[in-house]
Each structure stands twice: as C-alpha cells, then as structure tokens.
Chain A
C-alpha cells in the first residue's frame, strides 16, 4: 500500500537551521525536503495519527558548533511530538488531548543550549471538541499553555474564540498574537522566569475582520491584514500596558488619545496607518528579517513587498495561484512561499527569483456553477503510472503516483491566470490514450450574457520525454454549440471520439494516416473522419473495446455499438432507467459496464454477445475502472444514506468479477465525492522486491476528492504490502553555501590558536583585547573569528553573587 498526494500547504512550512532543509507538514507526517533540489529527503512518521498542524525547529544557540536538528510538531490528534529530524527519530511525546490547530513556543530562542535547565512553554490553539459547533456563539477555540518539559498544562485559558485561530509570535518571542474577528489580541510574554500571571494582554480594534498578523522583528511594530485587503500597521503598540513598571494609569490614556493618529478607540498604540493594494483578504504578512520590508500576499497570487519607510511597493507576479504562507529561513537569501495549489516556491530573496519548487498534486478547484455535466475527472497514463490532473490555471499536471512528485505541467490555454470568484474559462476534460502518446483536452469558455461562448478541443502529441506534450491541433467548437460530454481514444489507433450533448459524435483521426492517399494536402493534424448520431439523443459517454474494434456510445438510456472505421451502427443494447453517465468495456471480455446517476442510480453489466443486461445493482457509483487484462472492474460507490453513522468514511470501493455479482472485495474510503479509480500496472523499478515472484501485480489506485491517493494490490490479503519509503536513495546533502561563505567562499582553515601563537612568548595581560590583534595582518585570522573572541574578552566575568 502506498499513499501520496498529500497537501503541502495545509500549514506553514519551516526551514531547518542551516536553510538546507524545509520541513513541510504533509498529512500525518512531516516531510523534509532539500531546498537546493526540491526533492524529499526523509519523512517523520509514526508520531501522529492525524494531520500535523505546525512544526517548530529548535534554533541553534550561538556557541554551539554543531547544527541541532530537533523540532516540535503539533497535530490534530492532540499530541505534541519532539523529533530529531536528521535521523527521523521520535524522542518525546506530550499529550494535550484536544486537537491542536496552531502551536508556538515563544521563548524557545532564549533557552540556550541546555534545554534541561529551562522549560519550554508551548502556546497552543486548540479546538474544544466537547462543545458542539451547532451551539450559538460557541467558543470552540481556546488558547492554552503547556510546559513541554514536564508536559503539564500551565495556568488557565489565555483566550477563547469562536474558532481556533492561528497563533503568531514575534521573532524574539516577546509578543504573541491572534486575530479574533475585528480585534487583535496581543500578549506580552515575560522572557525570563516564565509565570502565567505575568502575561499581559492588549486588544487592537479594527472595523473589518482581520485575517493575518505579523510582528516586526526588532521594533514595536505590528501589521494586520483584513478581509478587504487593507494592511494596518500599528507602531508602538502596548507602550502603556507593557511598560516595565506595569503601572496602569487611566488618566494618562485619555490625555494621549488625540496624539495617536489612526488609532481606534483608545487602543494602546502610538499610531496606526493603512496601506491598501490587495483586492481581497490578506493571507499572509511577513516582516523581512532586517525589518525594512513587509511582504504581503493573498488571493491575487502576487507577493507585494512594501518598503516600510516609504510605503513603496514591489511585486512578484504570476505565481499562478493564491498564496497562503510565507516563511523565511535563517539564511537571509532564502525564503519560501506556499501557494494554494499545493506548491511551495523557494525564492532567492532580494530578487524574489524562484530557484526551486516543491510541487504536490494540484488540488481540485471548486466549481461555482454546475457546468453542463462536465465531470472533471483525472486521467491516468498507464505506462508510467502518472495521473493527469486538471488545474485551475488552465494546465494539466502530470503527477507520478509511484514517486509521489510532479512530473510536468502542460499549459492548455495560453492565458494569464487571475484567481477570480466566477470561473469563465476552464479546462473541462482530459483524456490520454492507452500508450500515453496522445492527449486530448477540452477547454470551455463560458459566455457573458450569451456572448463569446467557445469550446475548443485540443490534441496533443507526446514529445521525447515522459509526459511532455506539444500541441498538435486545435478544433474550435467541435460540436458547434453543443458541449462535449466525453473524449475517448481508440486503443492502438490514432483515433479519438468525442460525444456531445447535442446528439452527435465525431470520430477524429490523425492526419498522418492519410498522407499517402492525399499527396497534395500534407497535413499532420487531426481531422474529423465521420459524424454519427442516434435518434438525435444527447450522447453522454463513449468507450472503445480493448482491441479498438467496437465503439460503444451511450445515448441517454441505451448503449449503441458502432464500427469505428466505417461508422456503421452495429447494435443497440438495452434500456436503463435514467441516462447513462459512464461506460466501460471490461478488459478483453465481451462485457460492458455502465453507470447511471439521477433518481434511479444503477450499476449495470451488459453482455454484448447476447445484447442484454447481465446483472445490475441499484448503486450510486461515483467512478468506474476496469482492469485491462482480467475480467474485473472496480467501482467507487458513494454512501449517502442518512442512517450511516460513520461520517468520515463516505465511500466504498467494490471490486467485482464480471461473472459474479457478488463483490470480490470491498474497502471503505474517505472523501469519495469527486474521487476516481484506476487499475495500474506495477512500476517495475519500484517493485523490485515483489518482482521476484515473476508476475507483475495489477494495482488499484484510488484518488479521493482532495487528490490524495492510495495505491494497493486488490488481490493481496494482507492490508499493507509496502510503505512509500523512497528512502533517501539520493543523498541530497549538497555542499550548499550560504551567508558569509556564499559571498566570499569558505574561510581558510587557519586555526585560531595557531595564528595567535607568536614567535615570542608573551604574558597574558589583564586586557586581552590588546594582544588579540597583535601580529602581522596576514597571519591574523579573519575578523569573523576574531570578533567573538574580542567581544567575549570585553565582557567581564561576573562574580558569582550567590556564593
């Protein structure tokens, strides 16, 4: 069993201390990617049983030479885990008992090396599952504090909100904040000697719902974004409340009200200014580490860089998707932005150039309108085990199921993508021929008040590389006004069939077949060979038999069989209760299976030799796949009966043998709505261990509504056959250099001690800074090395008072 297709953008990723690794929450696990290659190195698994929501890497203390690779993770299963992510080992586990939606550890940086000595305090935003969501004004979101060292809860609740909110913390761990409707809650956390009753809180008010929040790294400045796209910047927040003497003077507050421009209703801030560029909610705000710039992003898919002093803007456009998170690494030249289409771009910082992308499977995009029965399905490329997914930005993404990474992306419509509410142009269908050499896509342009409607059919040819397709032919309005319902390729022939709701189907052939007969017109494109229709009925599905000799087309409630070459109607089979939505031949057998939706859903198996119904079920089947060799097929059935208790598992996969109406096997699955099934032949390179028994097992892949998938052997008895452990067979530890070394190269191996030993002996004086720079300049170690010694020497050793 293999799983894959997890979302990379469910929660913000985190860089490791050296900036070479990126820790990404992927479902129940944390995947660690190399930032230089974008490939997965290792996966932290086994700790959590639900989605991981946050990762916090322990920072390196200054004096420590070896890079520490420890991190804390929180999950919806109510646990916090402590990992060594270099060796992917679980070290510790803290139980919180409530689903954690967000976690921060504010004073993690202040703790230094010996973590035993001081306690980590985690602020967690949990969801109280005991309170029902139906209850009016239920405060389900709670912010609690945990001592991670002894795993005890500390103090009471910090805040209660309607929904669990995302916690943000300032860089030095001094402030903690959440957005709560039209307010910002800010807490000041004592850096040393943490005590619950020393936490102080202020509120900042706004007139719109706030969506994001960021703290300035070294000034007392705070930025908040709201749903209308405005960015508010509060300067000097909490001067009064967070003042050191902590004496609240009510009289002063009223007096200073007029002097605080832009600050609303007596909020505790010096000034508040507003910037506005975004047209919709600001999804993230982030101050650059030097504090000179503010990055913001949202649905527009543009990173806006604000210069804080002047308010000037710079843009990084065309990222192809709404943006969700922005993360900075300890290496100032590296940061990453998470896009809503399950892609993390790693940016080279000052120029915002994309150096690498970590691409997950594209998420299904929501349809706002019911589009004439187009069923945006995924298509499968059998030979390489790829899945072709339609994306929102007019692309077809090819994703390797076995390797769990993106292979390529084909741009179907050449149009700049803008995330909008009402989709006017989308890729509606994709079909791939059995050998993967041909691809057909249909993209639909919706009319604006019956103006400018356009459906175009595009045929693509595969290039030299896997999943690399180039456009061969565009056919505008293949069925004039009518929408295209199905596109099927004929196995072994350069032929495709499109069926339309307008009642006709067209057979398209590749022009190279007719080169010899038609010398004058040497076209290599596709052209229509024949047109057919059956009683003017709308046609909804088409399928070719395995050898390509018979074409079956569903005309409302009947199935018509055609000779594809001569376009002659051979036979008409049966009658269903409602229109057929999907058809498939079962392997090489004479059987045909059809799915029917509507009020009387039906799964029916037809026998072509007898031209009659063989057996049928009354089932609402979402997807259908038949194996190529064996006479088996699998259907994905939606369970939508109200008495079903298990809400999570809303689908069943049934595996049938065609001769027998009793299913061979059944599996319960989640998120079945919009899911799909396919039989795949095992990737020989992957199944090295299993290839020993000689036969290649047929695998069944199930892609659920969120494009997560699972691959399993439908015939094996044991549940789990293998894990998707692509153990770092490629060592990704490149000698990447950053910071000082990237600018000036590696430092010479000059040893500090050797360099400082002069020819003549000297007496160590009381003032070591006098001797530290003595010696000729060419033997002096670099300033970076001298600096720490020099500064350390300036500090006087404090006498131990306690003694």
Chain B
C-alpha cells in the first residue's frame, strides 16, 4: 500500500490564478513529421499569372512541367537540391494560354492543350516546334492526358466545347470522339491505371462519366454519376477501383467497380478544391514502391491536405499564403510543388537519402556481408562500466518504480527549515511576483512576516522596496501589498532616511501611488457617468 503520509505542498499564493493545465504539445504524428521534413522554397515567383497545372514526368529524373500563361515551363528534376529550370524551357509555341501539360509514359513527349483549342505534342530533349498538332476542339482544351499505362500512341482531351476525344497521336487522328459528352465544360479527367482504355471525365455540369474508348462513338458512357458540384479534378486511385473527384469544397471517393457508389466525402476544405494528386509518404529509396499513398488536395482557401484514403482520414494539413490551383508530387518522393493563382510555385524538397549504398552490397552481389564483430567489452574500456545502464525493461519484467523526486523551489526548501528571512530574500531575488507573494502569505500564516521585514538588511530592503514599487498597485496583490508597504515604511523609516538608494525607491513608490490615485479618480468619474445610465436602463 502506498505511503499515506501527506504530500509536501509548495507554497502557493492565494491570489495567484493558476494557469490552466498546459496543453500537451500536439504530438507530431510520423506523418506530420514526414510532411514537415520538406524544405520550403519558392520555385518560380516571376510568373505573375496563375499556375493552372503542375505535372511530374513519370520517369527519372522526374522533370516538372508547369502550365502558366502562354507557356509550359519545364524544371529539371535531377538538379539538386531543388528543381531548376531546364535550359530549353519554356515551351512557348502557344498562341494563347497553355493548359494541362501531360508527359507520355516514357517521359519523352509532352502534350498540352491551350486556350485556342489546339492540342500540341512536344519533344523534351531539345527545344523546337511541336511534333504534332491535334485540332478538333473549337473551344479551349483544359484536359489533355496521356494514359499512364505503357500506351505511347494515344492521348485523350476534353474541352470547353464539351467534346471528349481519344487521339492516335502519330496520325493526328481521332480514334473515337464523343461530342457533347457532357453538358458543360470538361475540366477534369483521368485514365484508369489498370486499363488505359477506361477514362473518367469530370465536367462543370456536376457529372462524372466513365468512358470506354473501345466502344463505338455512338454509344453512351459506361458509367455516370453526379458529384453535386462543378467537378474541378478527377483522379483514379492506384488500385483502379476507386475514383476521387474534387468539386466545390468537397472531395468524394467513389467505387467505380461497384457501379459508382459514393464511399466517402471529405469536407475539410473551406473553398473550392482545385486539384488532386497522389503522393507517398515515407522515404523508401526510389519512391515508386515504398510508402503509403496519400491523396493530396489543394484548394482556393490556401490549404493543402493529405488524405489517407485507406483510413478515410485527413492526416496532415498545410497552409499556404495564396489561393492554390495546382499540386504535384514527384514520384521520387523528394519534391512537392503547389501552384498558386498569383504565379508563385511553392516547392518543398527533401534530401535524397543515401541509404541505398548500405543495401546495395546485399542486393548487387546477393550475398550476406557479415557484420563487423562486436568488440568484447573489457574493464579497461570506459563503456564497460556503463553496461546495461540503458537496458529497457521487458514486458514480463516486474517494474519497481522509484519514488518520484519532489522538486522544490529554493524558497520552499528554506521554509521547510524555518529559515524565514532567507526564504523571503531568495524569493525576492528570483523576482517572480507570484512566488514572492506566496512566500509572504506563508510567512503571514506563520506569523513571521513582520519579524522578517524587521530583520532585513539594507540591500535586502532595497530588493523588497523594488518589488513593492513594481507590484504594490497591481490589483491582484494590491490589498495585501499596500498594507505591507505601509508597514514596511512605518517599521524601517530610519533605515530609509539614512540611505539614498532607499529614498529613491520611496520616491518611485510615491510616484506610483500618485498614478494609482489618478487612475482611481478617473475610474470613479467613469462610474459616475455610467451609473445614471444604468439606473435609467434598469427602469
């Protein structure tokens, strides 16, 4: 049974309002730690116009394409530590605003739409005119996508003319097209990661439709469902069975295999969600395989959220000082970019871990390298004497807790020994008003304060007067300290007269009392003005 003798109570001022128990520091989850480990910088700040799309190349070195104004800017993913513009960028063969850059699966070509309705395909290794021009749209093309799954020949596009087209790029011909696929602008689309023929599009008519490009053009969409708001972004999740759509201030997760059933609605954004992309947490070497996938969403409200679609839970939130329009996450897992409406691209980069070197020995040669033999500790070694000190108890071990050591402030220790004056002086020299008042109140409770004051040296009296000057009129302590000041002045008048320093303190005290009286006068005036009003109001 525990020892029932009383605990030791440190002195406490009665007037000291205890601060509410300190909020436990928001414990950082490993996930938050991961997201915070990115180093922030601005990638490009001179663009002025909105960055409407950000796209990472699917192959190393993971170049970044950013659509802004009438150009697509390219950034070198290989440069370290941060991304840097490629030498031949930007691609500027656009007559009007460029939209929706998309890399081919091998990263060699880039397709982009534009305000003019033209879809252009560029090569990336050197600057030059576009290789192919696909023209069918009459209105701006905001959606151009290469399917990601080893399909080098086709891409699809969707435009403000509600036309959805599937192209054979080499021949610049439409394989299949669905005019009037939606009843409003098509702004979003995504190809299924498991079958490249299945494509989801989202439109401002609130609907999301799934198309199979193998069926004849006359047939309708495979599946359609309503998101409830103009759809800004559509993204297949890696399994191919789930589809995330963003529109309004919600992100919805749909089960497309199960016939378009709504699984989850994420409503943590305050304004329109503008873009979605996939990210991975954890820094397992080369990115692709390791880490749990996360859905990153950005919104006009300036927040980027990381959503765990396995647990349907927001795992991290980040705030940026601008409206966010686009987001990208490097497949290498080392870079995260966010495009804003004022042309700034915010970038978070992470150093590549060099841990491959360690594992390479095993993987390349396929043999086990024996670990360096552990040195046997001898009594000549210093560490010999520290053996087992850091040993952790096992679950089965019976732990005998050492009684927690009571930490006492110095004045408490002195009070325990009944050294009252010293306790008062120590508290005064620490200059913490609550503990000083607490010690004084304790001394009053022991009937020792007057005696202590009488015994103070001149230096210590100076400390006390300094304290009184500072705090005697503080409302919380005033009742007690005013009386004490009076008492001190009565008792130590002779000492004060004989010492100029003390006289200075007394002058300060006097001035402060005068100020306080002034304040009280003005307060009374205010009260005098208010009370008739209150009486009138009371009737």
> DSSP class of A's interface residues: helix, strand, loop or mixed?
loop
Contact present for A416 and B3 (CB under 8 Å): no
User: Chain B, 428-460, contact with A by CB distance < 8 Å: what is the 0/1 string?
Assistant: 000000000000111011111110000000000
- CA A450 to CA B448, docked complex, whole Å: 13
Which residues on A sit within 8 Å (CB–CB) of B444? 424, 445, 447-448, 451-452
Contact present for A452 and B440 (CB under 8 Å): yes
Contact present for B3 and A354 (CB under 8 Å): yes
Which residues on B sit within 8 Å (CB–CB) of A415? 9, 11, 442, 445
Contact residues of A between 434 and 488, Cβ < 8 Å to B: 445, 447-452, 454, 456, 476
Q: Closest residue of chain A to B15, judged by CB?
A: A476
Q: Decide: A354 near B4, CB < 8 A? Known: A424-B445, A448-B447, A451-B484.
A: yes
Which residues on B sit within 8 Å (CB–CB) of A345? 4-5
- CA A589 to CA B442, docked complex, whole Å: 48
Known: A415-B11, A445-B444; 16 extra A-B contacts, CB below 8 A, are: A317-B5, A320-B6, A345-B5, A354-B4, A393-B6, A415-B445, A416-B9, A420-B446, A448-B448, A451-B450, A451-B480, A451-B483, A452-B440, A452-B449, A454-B14, A476-B14
B261 in contact (CB, < 8 A): no
A414 in contact (CB, < 8 A): yes
Q: Closest residue of chain B to A357, judged by CB?
A: B4
User: Chain B, 470-488, contact with A by CB distance < 8 Å: what is the 0/1 string?
Assistant: 0000000000100110010
Contact present for B5 and A320 (CB under 8 Å): yes
Contact partner of A448 (CB less than 8 A), chosen from B1, B8, B14, B449, is B449
B12 in contact (CB, < 8 A): yes
Q: Decide: A450 near B483, CB < 8 A? Known: A320-B6, A414-B12, A416-B8.
A: yes
- Give the total of A residues in contact with B, Cβ under 8 Å: 31
Q: Decide: A318 near B8, CB < 8 A? Known: A355-B1, A415-B445.
A: yes
Which residues on B sit within 8 Å (CB–CB) of A306? none
Which residues on A sit within 8 Å (CB–CB) of B11? 415
- Min CB distance B418 to A, Å, is 9
- CA A451 to CA B442, docked complex, whole Å: 12
- CA A143 to CA B448, docked complex, whole Å: 46
Contact present for B483 and A448 (CB under 8 Å): no
Which residues on A sit within 8 Å (CB–CB) of B480? 451-452
Q: Please, could you name 20 A-B residue pairs with CB atoms under 8 Å apart, sorted by A? A: A316-B5, A318-B8, A320-B6, A345-B4, A354-B3, A354-B4, A414-B9, A418-B446, A424-B444, A424-B447, A425-B445, A445-B444, A448-B444, A451-B444, A451-B449, A452-B440, A452-B483, A452-B484, A456-B14, A476-B14
Question: A-contacting residues of B (Cβ < 8 Å)?
Answer: 1, 3-9, 11-12, 14-15, 416, 440-442, 444-450, 480, 483-484, 487
Q: Closest residue of chain A to B441, judged by CB?
A: A452
Q: Decide: A449 near B14, CB < 8 A? Known: A320-B6, A416-B6.
A: no
- CA A705 to CA B446, docked complex, whole Å: 28
Contact present for A318 and B446 (CB under 8 Å): no
Contact partner of A422 (CB less than 8 A), chosen from B3, B447, B484, is B447
Contact present for A353 and B3 (CB under 8 Å): yes
Contact residues of A between 304 and 325, Cβ < 8 Å to B: 316-320
Which residues on B sit within 8 Å (CB–CB) of A451? 444, 449-450, 480, 483-484, 487
Which residues on B sit within 8 Å (CB–CB) of A354? 3-5
A327 in contact (CB, < 8 A): no
- CA A357 to CA B416, docked complex, whole Å: 25
Contact partner of A356 (CB less than 8 A), chosen from B1, B7, B440, B450, is B1
Q: Decide: A449 near B5, CB < 8 A? Known: A424-B447, A454-B14, A476-B15.
A: no
Question: B-contacting residues of A (Cβ < 8 Å)?
Answer: 316-320, 345, 353-357, 393, 414-418, 420, 422, 424-425, 445, 447-452, 454, 456, 476
- CA A319 to CA B4, docked complex, whole Å: 9
Contact partner of A449 (CB less than 8 A), chosen from B9, B442, B487, is B487
- CA A30 to CA B464, docked complex, whole Å: 58
Taking each of B6, B12, B442, which has the highest tally of chain A beta carbons within 10 Å of its own beta carbon? B6
Which residues on A sit within 8 Å (CB–CB) of B1? 355-356
Which residues on A sit within 8 Å (CB–CB) of B448? 448
The 10 closest A-B pairs by CB, nearest first: A452-B444, A414-B9, A318-B6, A448-B444, A354-B4, A424-B445, A318-B5, A425-B445, A354-B3, A353-B3
- CA A456 to CA B442, docked complex, whole Å: 15
- CA A3 to CA B444, docked complex, whole Å: 41
- Min CB distance B434 to A, Å, is 15
Which residues on B sit within 8 Å (CB–CB) of A393? 6
- CA A425 to CA B14, docked complex, whole Å: 13
Which residues on B sit within 8 Å (CB–CB) of A353? 3
Q: Closest residue of chain A to B415, judged by CB?
A: A416
- CA A150 to CA B4, docked complex, whole Å: 47
- Min CB distance A451 to B, Å, is 5
Q: Closest residue of chain A to B479, judged by CB?
A: A477
Q: Closest residue of chain A to B447, judged by CB?
A: A448
Which residues on B sit within 8 Å (CB–CB) of A445? 14, 441, 444-445
Q: Closest residue of chain B to A447, judged by CB?
A: B444
- CA A389 to CA B289, docked complex, whole Å: 71
Which residues on B sit within 8 Å (CB–CB) of A318? 5-8
- CA A425 to CA B7, docked complex, whole Å: 18
Which residues on A sit within 8 Å (CB–CB) of B487? 449, 451
Taking each of A318, A416, A418, A456, which has the highest tally of chain B beta carbons within 10 Å of its own beta carbon? A416
- CA A731 to CA B55, docked complex, whole Å: 80
Which residues on B sit within 8 Å (CB–CB) of A414? 9, 12
Which residues on A sit within 8 Å (CB–CB) of B15? 476
Which residues on A sit within 8 Å (CB–CB) of B440? 452
Which residues on B sit within 8 Å (CB–CB) of A447? 444
Which residues on B sit within 8 Å (CB–CB) of A317? 5
